[in-house]
Amino acid sequence: MDTTPHRVPWYRQVGPGQWKAFGAAWVGYLLDGFDFVIVTLVLTEIRTEFQLSLTTAATLVSAAFVSRWFGGLALGAFGDRFGRRPAMILSIVCYAIGTGLCGFAWNYWSLFVFRAIVGIGMAGEYGSSSTYVMESWPATLRNRASGFLLSAYPVGTILAARAYDLIVPSLGWRWLFWIGILPVVVALWLRKALPEAKDWTEQVGRRGAGATSATVLLNRKRTGANVVITLALAACLVLIFSGHAGPLYPLYIVICVLGFVAFATQVSGRSWPMVVALMATVFCAFLYSWPIQSLLPTYLKTELHYTAGQVANALTWAGLGYAAGSCLAGILGDRFGTRTTYVGGLALSLVFVFPAFVLGSGSIVAVWVLLFALQATSSGISGLLPKYIGDHFPVRLRAASLGFTYNVGALGGAVAPLAGAQVAAHIGLGPALIWLAGGLTLLTALLVGFNVPARLRRREPRTETVAPSTS
């Protein structure tokens, strides 16, 4: 008689309700990617209509990043207090409405504000959908949950690229934003169809709210100070990333850093150095990936002189690489550990950075292949970021902490197109993308590889065990 235990395939360890939760979150994040990337596709058209320079136009990409820290913190705190599902639904409604409003923009500043609304919703979607799926799936499969979920974002960018080819040449750039309001319909469906995340229900929902991030941030003793800090951060970030900071630029940066540290201290207590280190890691991750993601359409159109159809094809292959890399990262992460897989992917991506941006316009197929490989190993490996960050925080604080930490770091995405445009003015757009992607990839790999955030954690008594971050 064969007594050898049969190993259950991983996909059978995920129940129907858990797959349903994943599918709903995946669709929400796909639509998030669609809505967020639209502006990068029509940047040249917006530049022409509003008569903007490349650097000024690039700030419209940055606008959504300016508000993301607030969306990650506020909607994350909402999710910690009331549940992951309602926070995810509210986030979808927010970014969909913001995208639809972009189609009605009448000048630069109106579009900047509407893009900031998109950023709030996107940040909330990232934190709430990530925690929702990971806390719904078995603990041994949460790298897969993280990687598979984030594969939705590049699929959304692929759909946006195809929509750009079909819609913009005949109807104009505004229609691309107007169809971005459709996720509201999906949000209404999700409201009735989804169960709540298992971990949140067991550790927070059934026990009562307790000391969640919301109760910490909304403490009466802190409310007035937090409002002042929020307004100061908003004003400084708008001035910085709209290009209106002037000679006070360094002062505004200092104010922003102090404001973020103040919120990190409230949420994480004595462990705030760990949170700051996580922010720095994510900041570098965006600085290596977002010059390519935000300026790749412009590079293809201006440097390689691709048509709208050729741009869409190239972005499709890049997006497929991103999606495939995210899924593969999740599988390998569960097998070899989160940090090992993350660092390995980053190291491999360095092989593809240089050749991807030295080929001429005649090497179309080679460009496709290289963009696929580059995005799979660089952007795709970032599918592990929600798992990597979330492991540092307990459930009662996880959505706000993950959302805030990640989206403060995501300001690297606001810096990225501006840095890319400024460096490109001196050495060309292709070389600029090579140097930014290569150098910051190496720095990110060092921060994750040496486990810098975990080394800075200050231990303090907790009533809840935090999952280790050294996987």
Please give the pLDDT value at position 278: 92
Please give the pLDDT value at position 412: 82
Please give the pLDDT value at position 261: 92
Q: What is the mean pLDDT of residues 46-75?
A: 84
In this structure, the number of other CB atoms found within 10 A of the CB of residue 410 comes to 25
Structure tokens at 451: 């486990």
Please determine, for residue 421, whether its predicted confidence score (pLDDT) is greater than 90.
Answer: no
Please give the pLDDT value at position 470: 41
Q: What is the mean pLDDT of residues 157-164?
A: 84
SS3 103: coil
Yes or no: say if 153 and 322 are a contact pair by the CB < 8 Å rule: yes
Mean of per-residue pLDDT scores for the chain:
82
Q: What is the mean pLDDT of residues 153-169?
A: 85
Distances (CA, A) of 448 to 280, 343, 436: 11, 7, 18
Structure tokens at 127: 């934190």
CA–CA distance, 55 with 426 (Å, rounded to integer): 13
Please give the pLDDT value at position 461: 46
**pLDDT tens profile 216-244:** 676 777 788 888 999 999 899 888 877 78
Structure tokens at 229: 């800090």
Supply the DSSP string of 353-371, one letter for each residue: HHHHTT--TT-HHHHHHHH
Closest by Cα among 380, 376, 370, 348 to 445: 348
Yes or no: say if 25 and 17 are a contact pair by the CB < 8 Å rule: no
CA–CA distance, 166 with 408 (Å, rounded to integer): 35
Please give the pLDDT value at position 206: 66
Q: Is the pTM of this model over 0.85?
A: no
**What confidence tier does 210 reach under pLDDT thresholds 50, 70, 90?**
low
Q: What is the mean pLDDT of residues 145-168?
A: 86
The radius of gyration computed from the CA coordinates of the chain, to the nearest angstrom, equals: 21
Q: What is the mean pLDDT of residues 337-347?
A: 92
Please determine, for residue 467, whether its predicted confidence score (pLDDT) is greater than 50.
Answer: no
**What confidence tier does 336 reach under pLDDT thresholds 50, 70, 90?**
very high
Closest by Cα among 118, 123, 125 to 89: 125
CA–CA distance, 470 with 343 (Å, rounded to integer): 13
> Which residue has better confidence, 381 or 192?
381
Yes or no: say if 209 and 215 are a contact pair by the CB < 8 Å rule: yes
**pLDDT tens profile 426-464:** 777 777 777 888 888 899 999 999 988 888 876 544 444
Closest by Cα among 294, 451, 320, 313 to 374: 320
Yes or no: say if 35 and 95 are a contact pair by the CB < 8 Å rule: yes
Yes or no: say if 91 and 67 are a contact pair by the CB < 8 Å rule: no
Report the greatest alpha carbon distance in the chain. Answer: 81
**What percent of the chain is modeled with pLDDT above 90?**
17
Q: How big is the CA angle at 132 (ends 131 and 138), to the nearest 5 degrees?
A: 90
**pLDDT tens profile 70-128:** 888 888 888 888 888 888 888 888 888 898 899 999 998 999 999 999 889 888 888 88
Q: Which residue has the tokens 């409604």?
A: 93
The amino acid at 8? V
Domain spanning 15-455, CATH class: mainly alpha
**DSSP run (H or E) holding 269:** none
- Among 171-175, 197-201, 328-332, which is the least confidently predicted range? 197-201
CA–CA distance, 420 with 436 (Å, rounded to integer): 8
Closest by Cα among 324, 291, 336, 301 to 432: 291
**What confidence tier does 266 reach under pLDDT thresholds 50, 70, 90?**
confident
Say which residues have a Cβ less than 8 Å from residue 61's Cβ, sequence separation at least 6: 39, 40, 43, 294, 413, 414, 417
**What confidence tier does 1 reach under pLDDT thresholds 50, 70, 90?**
very low
Yes or no: say if 297 and 40 are a contact pair by the CB < 8 Å rule: yes
Closest by Cα among 430, 386, 458 to 84: 386
CA–CA distance, 79 with 401 (Å, rounded to integer): 11
Q: What is the mean pLDDT of residues 122-138?
A: 85
Please give the pLDDT value at position 464: 41
The amino acid at 46? I
Please give the pLDDT value at position 458: 63
**What confidence tier does 254 reach under pLDDT thresholds 50, 70, 90?**
very high
The number of CA neighbours under 13 Å toward the Cβ of 182 is 11
CA–CA distance, 176 with 173 (Å, rounded to integer): 6
Please determine, for residue 419, whether its predicted confidence score (pLDDT) is greater than 90.
Answer: no
> So where are the chain's domains?
15-455
Say which residues have a Cβ less than 8 Å from residue 136's Cβ, sequence separation at least 6: 17, 18, 21, 22, 145, 195, 197, 198, 199
